[in-house]
Amino acid sequence: MFGVVPKSIWNKLNPADDNNMCSWALRCLLIEDGEKLILIDNGMGDKQDAKFFGHYYLHGDDTLDKSLARHGFHRDDITDVILTHLHFDHCGGSIMRQGDKLVPAFKNATFWSNEYHWDVAIDPNDREKASFLKENILPIQQSGQLKFIKHPFFEPGEPARWIAYPPTENKLSPFDKDISLDFVSGHTNCMMIPHIQYKGRTIVFVADLLPSISHLPIPYIMAYDMQPLTSMHEKMIFLKDALAKNYILFFEHDPLIECCIIQQTEKGIRQKETFKLSEIG
């Protein structure tokens, strides 16, 4: 999870257990926007076999259904699912087993991806293919519920190239002005980073650009990243932008911390305050 950073350093941030494994969250974000109920990412799901889940030592009793019910919702209420990218821990909950069929878990929702990332996911390279599981991905398209978001720099059919974290004016969205999207390509090709306007603030769902607060230092990037130098460059540009605009960072994988704002220190950009989303005034 920390790439080339020595364990003697990162183990102080997120201590490993006897299996040399760390605890991580699969935190999603639910947005009420008028008549829309928008879910960003949806975790691993539960359709894989025991052998698959045995690799991950799942613990705790949180589920997406319980979380939705706690706020008075059901999965059938979801109108849109934004998939930041199609690695199994971000989109596995999109599809469920219904008898011998694989069907969308959100039957009334539109699923949003982009064609440049989709193409990588359905024809993955050897290094990344263990993260792209066809049973999580292809049934979305087969259901007719998939739509693609246009990338601001590419035309349909054009191969996606890496372009640094784009400036604010290039954010796109199929939604209203309160939800917009940026694209980064260090972790995987054309991962989407949602920006949400809320109570006069901008909340950024940082996905795997910054899996946790411990990944704020520029060299702290995951070994899963396809283009590590690109990840570092994108993270540096994003953090400067986030600092200047006082963004709230929402962490998908941090086991303890939901949100933070950042500050400049002698050691670089670091957290200033940490808090729960519900505490935003």
Q: Which residues, other chains included, contact 196 with Cβ-Cβ below 8 Å and sequence gap of 6+?
A: 29, 31, 178, 179, 202, 203, 204, 205
Residue 2 lies in a domain: no
CATH number of the domain enclosing 166: 3.60.15.10
pLDDT of residue 69: 97
The tokens describing 52, both together, are: 């698959």
pLDDT value at position 251?
A: 98
Q: Are 109 and 93 in contact (CB under 8 A)?
A: no
SS3 at position 198: strand
Residue 24, in any domain of the structure: yes
Predicted local distance difference test score (pLDDT) of residue 163:
47
pTM here is: 0.92
Q: How confident is the model at residue 218 (pLDDT cuts 50, 70, 90)?
A: very high
The number of domains in the chain is 1
Say if CB 148 and CB 162 are below 8 A apart.
no
Task: Identify the pLDDT of residue 162.
Answer: 46
Is residue 183 one of the residues assigned to a domain? yes
**Could you list the residue range(s) of the whole structural domain that residue 50 is in?**
7-279
Which is more confidently placed, 59 or 210? 210
Q: What is the pLDDT of residue 193?
A: 94
pLDDT 10s digits, 187-199: 999 999 999 999 9
pLDDT at residue 277 greater than cutoff 60: yes
User: Which of 195, 190, 215 minimizes the C-alpha distance to 269?
Assistant: 215
Q: Could you tell me if residue 218 is inside a domain?
A: yes
Asked whether residue 197 is assigned to any structural domain, the reply reads yes
In a domain, 1, yes or no: no
Name the residue type at position 86: L
- pLDDT tens figures, 75-132: 999 999 999 999 999 999 999 999 999 999 999 999 999 988 999 999 999 999 999 9
